[in-house]
Structure 1
Amino acid sequence: MRKVPPFFLAAATTVLVFLIALLSASAQWRPVKTGILFGISGIALVENSLDEMGCPPGTCFVIVHDNKIESDGRIAILTVRGQDSLDYLPLQWPDGEEWPIDLEAIALVPGTQDSAFMAVTSFGRVYYFTLDSTGTIQLRQIFSLPDLPENTNLEGFDLHLINGQLLAVWGHRGSPDDSGVLYWGWFDWNGYQISGQGSAVITVPWPEEDVRHISDIKVNNAGILYITSSRDPGDDGPFDSAVYAAGLFSMNGNAIEFRPASSLAPLYRINGHKIEALEFLPGLSGGKIFGTDDENQGSSIYINR
């Protein structure tokens, strides 16, 4: 893979800061559900059609909730219809299977024929599942992320296909007194194991108060890592969020290499919402969808095409 010059990220960031600042000023947030049980803590695109659910590809998303009581919802399908209409359909967790506690992220599994996803809890438990055409969850495997330090609190996870290998990337959220930490490693289908390849400290300049340095992560097709960060003083807010291009994953010979951005400047600054979910939209426009966990205020999405 051709290396991207170090100045590329800095130049791209400067342009995006200007353009996206303009977009943020006119952002139209669309409410999804009210109440603390319906915050969106992760989102992933459904690439394949779920015909029996009336869910064309590219219009539906799997979202996760960070609930902890067994009877409360964990996973739902969010269908975006036009500019105004949203459909929310809760999915049933399979009977007799281990219940996830505190789901904080979800990623589409690239390179598979099925609608396959991995959802991750705050303490690193991974639930690999597929969806059939009716939206039924088929739980395939449960495993854990490797070598997590004590007091790790994860809020981001993604999967990126590079040179035919599946790279897993996950992030510890951090706090005002604790930096965020990014981890990455190769996923091996034999035994459902991830071999850690490296880590990097992530500290964002904004929000300044009550900060979670990493509230979600996604890697685009070019290997650029995007992170969201948030201000979270409690269930009633006030909330703020930012989005950053934090670095680049690429191959250096046979090894995966992460090069952090030379400086972090927000691509988006969002007041009044706690973004915990980020996903890329299909197509060449580079669009994104953001989902919020605004605690007692419920959840909203914003689509930027």
Structure 2
Amino acid sequence: MRKVPPLFLAAATTVLIFLMALVSASAQWRPVKTGILFGISGIALVEHSLDEMGCPPATCFVIVHDNKKEGDGRIAILSVQGQNSLNYLPLQWPDGEEWPIDLEAIALVPGTEDSAFMAVTSLGRVYYFTLDSTGTIQLRQIFSLPNLPDNTNLEGFDLHLIDGKLLGVWGHRGSPDDSGVLYWGWFDWNRYQISGQGSAVITVPWPQEDVRHISDIKISNAGILYITSSRDPGDDGPFDSAVYAAGLFSMKGDQVEFRPASSLVPLYRVNGHKIEALEFLPGLSGGQILGADDENQGSSIYLKR
């Protein structure tokens, strides 16, 4: 295994310092909705203002729910302003369109002029859609991720612009007896398909019991891959989670390369919540938002700028 370069380690150390500050900060986990139908299984930043919804950019997020029955909620807007203002607004799935089953992740499509997203199910079905200023979902394309084994259960997906090309990255969650697996490939704008380019095994040291090695993924602008991992013994918990800096995506010649971290050490641990959603916050101060799917206990977020 190749060692991660010092630049990556320095960046990870900076994040570690930030997250240690996060642990001791006054901000707390904030309830969003109660009940098993409202767990947050993925989250993505809204970059463009949804004016008619009173949703300015950088304060609103699109979240997905992993519901399976037609008619139950799939996608919602979560508006967060300061430590006291929190608003949940469910969105209607387009009439006559294929209903997604078990949405587990969502990613902002970078480099577009509108609010465009890709939401992904546990079996690798991808729903490419945009939101207009009223929050109406416009479904643009549906396709499937390539070459997935029969036992696949995806829980993480993200998109990353690198050298002007759009890289898709997705993760099989794994279990105590099954390693997590990270996959990546290039998105073809003409065919609306992703072609697989590589994969890597991911096994985290904590949580140890009832582990899902990958419960979400996000890639920073610098190409650093962050993953969340969780303990999930069932709908009533108890739940635990961790955040890791797992490696680095970069170009080597005309090929994309993933360099895994030389060791996985939790940057942040949390007891009592099953983190399934991670997103970065923009601006000079930066930060991140974590979303939990605590099954029967509902959903909550942890936000720190």
- The TM-score normalised by the length of structure 2 is 0.96
CA distance in 2, matches of 1:247, 1:80: 30
Q: Percent identity?
A: 84
CA distance in 2, matches of 1:119, 1:19: 29
Alignment of 1:121-270 (within 5 A): 121-270=121-270
2:90 matched to which residue of 1? 90
**Partner letter of residue 7 of structure 1?**
P
CA distance in 2, matches of 1:140, 1:69: 22
Q: CA deviation at 1:265?
A: 0.5
Q: CA deviation at 1:19?
A: 4.3
Work out whether residues 155 and 215 of structure 1, in 8 Å CA contact, stay in contact via their aligned partners in 2.
yes
1:302 matched to which residue of 2? 302
- State how many pairs are aligned: 302
CA distance in 2, matches of 1:80, 1:14: 28
CA distance change for structure 1 residues 5 and 16 in 2, over 3 Å: closer, same or farther?
same
Q: CA deviation at 1:23?
A: 2.1
**Partner letter of residue 153 of structure 2?**
N
SS state at 1:98 partner = coil
Q: CA deviation at 1:282?
A: 1.0
**Partner letter of residue 65 of structure 1?**
H
1:160-191 Cα offsets, whole Å, 9 max, x none, are: 01111000000000000000000000000111
SS state at 1:21 partner = helix
1:274 matched to which residue of 2? 274
1:203-229 Cα offsets, whole Å, 9 max, x none, are: 001111110000000001000000000
CA distance in 2, matches of 1:110, 1:16: 23
Moved more, 278-287 or 31-40: 278-287
Question: Unaligned 5+ residue runs, structure 2?
Answer: none
**Partner letter of residue 218 of structure 1?**
K
- The TM-score normalised by the length of structure 1 is 0.96
Q: CA deviation at 1:11?
A: 3.8
Alignment of 1:278-289 (within 5 A): 278-289=278-289
CA distance in 1, matches of 2:186, 2:87: 35
Q: CA deviation at 1:16?
A: 3.6
Work out whether residues 10 and 262 of structure 1, in 8 Å CA contact, stay in contact via their aligned partners in 2.
no
CA distance in 1, matches of 2:19, 2:82: 22
CA distance in 2, matches of 1:199, 1:220: 19
Alignment of 1:6-155 (within 5 A): 6-26=5-25, 27-155=27-155
RMSD: 1.3
Work out whether residues 214 and 227 of structure 2, in 8 Å CA contact, stay in contact via their aligned partners in 1.
yes
CA distance in 2, matches of 1:265, 1:300: 25
CA distance in 2, matches of 1:24, 1:111: 33
CA distance in 1, matches of 2:11, 2:130: 36
